[in-house]
A and B are shown apart, each in its own frame.
Chain A
């Protein structure tokens, strides 16, 4: 909380913003007129009860879903109509709620695949795979940073659930994105991994913007500068953790249940 006070003073720039973001599935309005500003060098948490529309907001921001209404701006560019892969190339990279790794490839290969495109090594069909060895140094750095060194040559499918999530974070970081969207990065993790990942996220956020969906409120209190509470597709409250957790409506809707 001391963190947020000092960071607040300089008013960092907005890198990703949404205005009037809405999504309807038939008659059901999953997300309703959400305004969101994600700042450089800040960790922003998106919380709310199940079915509040957090993952839908993620899918909209990363363009895996097309919004029904509203606009999205990334680093000054309107991306409301931009395809998902292009958004990723512009520097907005996401992780998934259900762990997204390439199961029948090794940990090293998983990370190298993320590194291939930014290093211009993804279209060469005439080169041997050993050409990818020059990505090993950077890949090993990332693998070590998230603590997967021992599992480097294991198949991703053989990793435990928590370790798969860690691997996914390593592949996301491999792209060196400007904005990271992490969908429940700590879900199903052991205490040790939570510590590692928390410090990775805090580190990463020094030079990037992070938006994360998270249920673990002690993690939110520890590492997030800004919290947005979502309920039934609408924003219920916004502010730093201390302010939000004092809000009566939020206590009633979400935290009340947690603390009771």
Chain B
């Protein structure tokens, strides 16, 4: 009897959660659509790129339990690939981004294949080492132009007729890319494959004894995460019209971890807010005398001490969040 009631309560709560989700989703979408009227478009585009990057990273950390310290490789690598094919080979923007995504996925396959059998800190260290190798490759390779990076990448015409040099057009293109990326992540988590990932995170030994080759499922999630990070990186290259070493450096791998932790690990939208916070701070402090890294460092420490679940994670766990029907797991 008690089980019965707790189960119905759970279904009711999740039903009310999906209503709240729908409401928040619509508000969020409206805000994003009207945003360029109030903010500098480039700033929101940057924010959206980093938000997608953080959500892709969270797919791995939050839903698979793997902490990668080499995600800059996929973000920055894709930026280089997209910038190169668009500028040097005259690819259209949509094709250029696709090249970035495929390139990032291939890099993910290689890095994941080497690292996936290691656990915890060893996994993090191997991904860091491999991404440092990729950094030095980018420093030395001809097509990346070393310290200069690939400059003045043309944005071109989307599908041949939408001029992306107009910042309004570019903004809605980036918004569309961001939403497509989010839908892919959402579907990925809530799919038969996602169920197996969940079971591996819950009890890896049992998953093995049920005949699942755990390493392959983790590799699948790693490649998907890399590809989506590539989607964000390739898009960013078109927004700023350049690709540089900053995006493949280890600091970028650290930054995305920070964004994800600030927003809330294992929540679908948490990393968006984490990315928003970090990018906004960087933006406002860039012009002041105050060093950015100190502020983000302090914010990070406060977060770890006070909001251990991250901004959105804490909101879900709060009284208001629970009243609205959210349930924070773990």
Q: Which residues of A contact B (CB under 8 A)?
A: 62, 64, 83-86, 88-89, 93-96, 100-106, 109, 112-114, 116-118, 121-129, 131-132, 150-155, 158-159, 171, 175
Q: Is the CB of B214 within 8 A of A85?
A: yes
Q: Which of B270-313 contact A (CB under 8 A)?
A: none
Can you list 23 residue pairs at the A/B interface with Cβ under 8 Å? A62-B209, A85-B212, A88-B209, A96-B206, A100-B205, A102-B206, A104-B202, A105-B198, A113-B199, A116-B192, A116-B195, A122-B196, A122-B212, A123-B193, A125-B191, A125-B193, A127-B191, A129-B190, A129-B195, A132-B195, A150-B3, A152-B7, A155-B10
**C-alpha gap A152/B206 in the complex (Å):** 20
Contacts of A126 in B (CB 8 A): 187, 191
- Beyond contacts A124-B191, A129-B192: 18 other A-B pairs, Cβ-Cβ < 8 A, are A64-B209, A85-B214, A88-B208, A88-B210, A96-B209, A100-B206, A102-B199, A103-B202, A104-B202, A105-B198, A106-B7, A116-B195, A116-B196, A117-B212, A125-B193, A153-B8, A158-B3, A175-B211
Question: Considering the complex, which residues of chain B in the window 220-263 have a beta carbon less than 8 Å from any beta carbon of chain A?
Answer: 220, 224
Q: How far is the CA of A151 from the CA of B10 in the complex (A)?
A: 13
A179 to B188, CA, bound (A): 34
Q: Within the assembled complex, what's the spacing in Å between the Cα atoms of A129 and B7?
A: 19
Interface: B169 (CB within 8 A): no
In whole angstroms, what is the CA distance A104 to B329 when docked?
A: 8
Q: Are A122 and B193 in contact (CB-based, < 8 A)?
A: yes
Shortest Cβ distance from residue A228 to the other chain B in the assembled complex, whole angstroms: 22
Q: Which residues of A contact B196 (CB under 8 A)?
A: 113, 116, 122
Is there an interface contact between B191 and A129, defined as CB atoms closer than 8 Å? yes
Chain A residues contacting B329 (CB-CB under 8 Å) are: 104
B41 within 8 A of A: no
CA distance A64 to B214 in the complex (A): 13
* Main secondary structure on A side of the interface with B: loop
- List 7 tightest A-B contacts by C-beta distance, closest first: A88-B211, A153-B7, A125-B193, A100-B206, A154-B3, A102-B202, A89-B211
CA distance A127 to B224 in the complex (A): 15
State whether B203 touches A100 (Cβ < 8 A): yes
- Given contacts A128-B187, A153-B10, whether A85 and B208 have CB atoms under 8 Å apart is yes
Q: Cα distance A121–B194 when bound, in Å?
A: 11
Distance, CA A86 to CA B4, complexed state (A):
37
A171, B187: Cα distance in complex, Å: 26
**Is B11 in the interface zone, CB < 8 Å from A?**
yes
Q: Nearest chain-A residue to B187 (Cβ)?
A: A126
Q: How far does the alpha carbon of A121 sit from the alpha carbon of B195 in the complex, in Å?
A: 10
Q: Is B166 an interface residue (CB 8 A)?
A: no
Kindly state whether residue B20 has any CB partner on chain A within 8 Å: no
**Bound complex: CA of A26 vs CA of B323, how far in Å?**
55
The listed residue (B7, B203, B211, B220) touching A102 by CB distance below 8 A is B203
Residue of A nearest to B7 (CB): A153
- Residue in contact with B210 in the complex, picked from A150, A153, A175, CB distance below 8 Å: A175
Q: Which residue of A lies closest to B11 (CB)?
A: A153
Please, how many angstroms separate the alpha-carbon atoms of A103 and B213 in the complex? 20
Give the Cβ gap from B310 to chain A, nearest Cβ, in Å. Answer: 19
Which residues on B sit within 8 Å (CB–CB) of A175? 210-211
Query: Which residue of B is nearest A115, CB measured?
Result: B210
Of A154, A155, A171, the most chain B CB neighbours within 10 A belong to A154
In the bound complex, CA of A109 to CA of B206 (Å): 14
